[in-house]
Chain A
Amino acid sequence: MSKIGVFICHCGENISATVDVERVAREVGGMEGVAHAIDYKYMCSDPGQTFIKEAVKKYNLDGVVVGACSPRMHEPTFRRACAEAGLNPYLCEMANLREHCSWVHEKSEETTEKAIDLVKMLVQKVKKNKPLDSIKVPVTKRALVIGGGIAGIQASLDIANTGHKVILVERDPSIGGHMSQLSETFPTLDCSQCILTPRMVEVAQHPNIKLYTYAELESLEGFIGNFTAKIRLKAKSVDYSTCTGCGACIQKCPVKKIPSEFNAGLGTRTAIYVPFPQAVPNKPVIDRVNCNYYKRGACKICEKTCQVGSIQWDREDEIVTEEVGAVVLATGFDVKGADFFPEYGYGKYKDVLTGLQFERMASASGPTFGEIRRPSDGVIPKKIVFIACAGSRDPAKGIPYCSKICCMYTAKHAMLYQHKVHDGESTVFYMDIRAGGKNYEEFVRRAIEEDTVNYVRGRVARVYEKDGKLIVKGVDTLLGGQQVEIEADMVVLATAGVANCGSEQLAQKLHVSYDPYHFFAEAHPKLKPVETNTAGIFLAGACQAPKDIPETVGMASGAAVKVAALFSNDELVREPLVAVVNRLAPPLYSTCVGCFMCETACPYNAIEHEDIRGRDGSLIKTIAKVNEGLCQGCGTCVAFCRSKSIDIQGYTHEQVYAEVMSLLND
């Protein structure tokens, strides 16, 4: 028979004022299997805990119920006390006599009776409790960071600086991401490259960082602390061990008219190229789609130019395998491009640009060396219109969310324009100005007041070309809905920030969830913004939602700390409140029949297939198995299993059944 100890707390007078605590202890004390029952003023106090510890030893208790406050408050306290007395902590349960009883009912017979019922319920539960051991998972102390923009750079440096190895994977030939494309940054107008490039160099030189550029994640298997990543190193066609980065090949490459990705299509590049002069690594790759040799089998001019013989024509993609313990996703965002705004003429009229294109144009290293000139005829525009919310906050475009950064960069663009074209006239059409951030509102006010940017509250219906001008038809809703028509020389669209292309496929590879817009989903919108639902995979930057640089850097550092915390122990210790599939003696092995409906029900991909084989190696059956590293203990699988083959520790069938039966049996 069980030997349960019951400890009823007065909580000062919080419980005892409405509940007859002595009667509770007395009545519960008479229950079958209860060896000891007392009440005390403050169970959670030192003397209170000592009562429990002593009783555990004295009565050789195999279960403890504390009738006190909410278990959400003191369950860890009392479980620790039990553990200190040598009782498995998971044999201790709490009955909530305060929040769920004394505080919500008046002093009465019924209130005391309810308290008795609640304690009895937990006594019945605890009789069915089993001693549980914490789950220990070994941790590989190396991190994989996917994406080499500012988020990935920051996360990599922060993790590397805690002394752990980092593998940084970047899809493009250089790290740097969108931040390297920016001209100046709000709200300080400091040059983006000036603050970013030192970080890029630091990444390249850091002894703890292994950098794979021009590489993509092929697959990720495993679970927290124990991932195996396969990374595809795309063929660069250049041997980086000998290449000096002199750039002679680039000078001589005959294919010169390829739209430059780095310049957002405004400039051109060659087929063998480095994306931009400050690239890290500053060595070229050959774009095989556009290279004459790969297209037509002849050319090889770069090979003749190269004095160290670094060109490798028959180089193939390579797959490397890396064991890592944690992953930081920092794959960033993209901007909506052509064909998304037929009404604004983007892609149709050369002088309608995206914000990112304007950014390149305003950049001193850009295609126009920082001068604002119309792509169509090279003329400096005297009238420029900025359209904020181009796509964002527009459910009809499928983007109901706010892209967050556009208000600020549009103000910056208008400001930069006014600084560069003194007699120019700039107009911003906006829905609302969202300038939440340190010095942000002041920055926008400066654009309006000092740089005399004309802000018009209203949306633009259409942009069309007429006699070499772009006619912007919009509305000014502050002046009673007046229609406005502006004959502009250039139009800049603050295009919506969207999930990076391929993010959905990447999410599926990693088993992380994503929102309807393909941004990766955080584990909790408030309290777990850098975690994903897959333990051991963290988020940094705009891959989670559009965000600005300071926020991205903050999030990256946050993710890095999460990784460092995970790496601070050799083993990961987790609460054992996870699901288990029963195992029985042959010939049944388990009552699980392997229908795997639990697999689709599990939000964490914690259900694995386990093959049960006979001595001769033949397959007897395939059953479900819970990966303890991934299971978070929600129990959805348990309620779903028809044959009750899967159960969840801490809330087992027997435990909850006993609770329900106890509550209703009188």
Chain B
Amino acid sequence: MEKIRERAATLLAEGVVTLVLGYEEGTKRPRPLFCRNSESARKLIFDSRCIHNLAVYLTKKELVGKDRFAVIAPIATLRSIMQLYVENQLSEDKLLVLTVDPSGELRELVTFEDIAGYVEQFELKRGEREQEILSKIDEMSREERWKFWMEEMSHCFKCYACRSACPLCYCSKCVVEVNRPQWINPWPAPLANMEWHINRAMHMVGRCTACGACGDACPVGIPIDLITRKMMEDMAPEFGYIPGQPAKKGNALSTWKLDDREQFIR
């Protein structure tokens, strides 16, 4: 932790970066910290509780500014960074990534190649909570699944926290704000909620890196992260997409293979 503070302070003092994005102690759990001078770097912390996906800020020019900045990134954030890179949203010369490897060493990742190589060592596993809910869903009949999600969705009041938390929801105008035509109604109602979440899942196919930020952000606790996560798990072997190791060109839905398998087209 001390090393991170020192390094961040040096980077800022030497003017290598103008901003270090990291974590500080919050009331209940760590919260994001935007360090713009070496003094504030003293507040930086980094441990396993730092799960807030800071990649979400990287596409926000008004926050990160025009100059080079550094971000302290746990593994989930690194995966998001890689996906953002593939989608032409980040450039190497503006970004410096700091992370702490499992042995506690501070690592500086300068190029996307470095990040990809680093991320490669980590396997994406289901946590206990994910495992529990997904295996429950697996055992349900279709009607039960419908009821399950209807019940869950009935709590959704369209606050769009899921959208705000997701590093990959960086569109300047989201489809729900498109009104010619109004594809999805903005108000919270069963249909509009359902359409929003199906739409969100479709937009995440081959992109979601299963960081779980959307699920964490949901104030009413709908396990929405599992929809995109399940899609990621199901589609990855199908389309050869690995979260955090995305193909350089295109993503799962903008590319295709002659022998893509399906059994439902007559």
Residues of A with C-beta under 8 A to B126 = none
Given A593-B89, A595-B89, answer yes or no on A658-B181 (Cβ-Cβ < 8 Å): yes
Contact status A642-B255, CB under 8 Å: no
| CB of A622 within 8 Å of the partner chain | yes
Bound CA–CA A642/B203 (angstroms): 6
Given A653-B180, A654-B180, answer yes or no on A597-B250 (Cβ-Cβ < 8 Å): yes
Contact status B88-A588, CB under 8 Å: no
Contact status A595-B87, CB under 8 Å: yes
Dominant SS at the B interface? loop
Residues of B with C-beta under 8 A to A588 = 172-173
Report the minimal beta-carbon distance from B66 to chain A, rounded to whole angstroms.
Answer: 9
Contact status A595-B175, CB under 8 Å: no
By size class, the interface of chain B is 20 to 34
| CB of B265 within 8 Å of the partner chain | no
Q: Which of A643, A654, A657 touches B173 (beta carbons < 8 Å)?
A: A643
Bound CA–CA A172/B241 (angstroms): 43
Report B173-217 residues with CB < 8 Å from chain A CB.
Answer: 173-175, 178, 180-181, 183, 203
Bound CA–CA A396/B174 (angstroms): 51
Q: Which of B172, B181, B251 touches A593 (beta carbons < 8 Å)?
A: B172
Closest to B249 in A: A600
Contact status A600-B175, CB under 8 Å: no
Bound CA–CA A658/B181 (angstroms): 8
| CB of A594 within 8 Å of the partner chain | yes
Residues of B with C-beta under 8 A to A654 = 180-181
Q: Which of A593, A598, A599, A657 touches B170 (beta carbons < 8 Å)?
A: A593
| CB of A248 within 8 Å of the partner chain | no
| CB of A45 within 8 Å of the partner chain | no
Contact status A593-B171, CB under 8 Å: yes
By size class, the interface of chain A is 20 to 34
| CB of A591 within 8 Å of the partner chain | yes
| CB of A596 within 8 Å of the partner chain | yes
Report A127-152 residues with CB < 8 Å from chain B CB.
Answer: none
Report A639-666 residues with CB < 8 Å from chain B CB.
Answer: 640, 642-645, 653-654, 657-658
Report the minimal beta-carbon distance from A663 to chain B, rounded to whole angstroms.
Answer: 15
Bound CA–CA A598/B251 (angstroms): 10
Report A303-359 residues with CB < 8 Å from chain B CB.
Answer: none
| CB of A299 within 8 Å of the partner chain | no
Report B85-127 residues with CB < 8 Å from chain A CB.
Answer: 87-89
Contact status B87-A657, CB under 8 Å: no
Contact status A622-B88, CB under 8 Å: yes
Contact status A600-B255, CB under 8 Å: yes
| CB of A31 within 8 Å of the partner chain | no
| CB of B27 within 8 Å of the partner chain | no
| CB of A255 within 8 Å of the partner chain | no
Bound CA–CA A643/B171 (angstroms): 6
Bound CA–CA A644/B89 (angstroms): 18
Bound CA–CA A266/B229 (angstroms): 63
Contact status B172-A591, CB under 8 Å: yes
Contact status B253-A640, CB under 8 Å: yes
Contact status B173-A601, CB under 8 Å: no
Closest to B170 in A: A593
Contact status A601-B172, CB under 8 Å: no
Residue-wise, chain A 235-272 has the 8 Å CB interface mask toward B (1 for contact) of 00000000000000000000000000000000000000
Residues of B with C-beta under 8 A to A653 = 180-181, 183
Closest to B252 in A: A597
Bound CA–CA A597/B203 (angstroms): 12
Bound CA–CA A645/B178 (angstroms): 10
Contact status B172-A640, CB under 8 Å: no
Report the minimal beta-carbon distance from B240 to chain A, rounded to whole angstroms.
Answer: 14
Given A642-B171, A643-B174, A658-B181, answer yes or no on A597-B89 (Cβ-Cβ < 8 Å): no
List the interface of chain A (C-beta within 8 A of B). 588, 591, 593-601, 622, 640, 642-645, 653-654, 657-658
24 A-B contact pairs sorted by A residue (CB < 8 Å): A591-B172, A591-B178, A593-B172, A594-B88, A594-B89, A595-B88, A597-B87, A597-B250, A597-B254, A599-B254, A600-B249, A600-B251, A600-B254, A601-B254, A622-B88, A642-B175, A643-B172, A643-B178, A645-B173, A653-B183, A654-B180, A657-B181, A657-B183, A658-B181
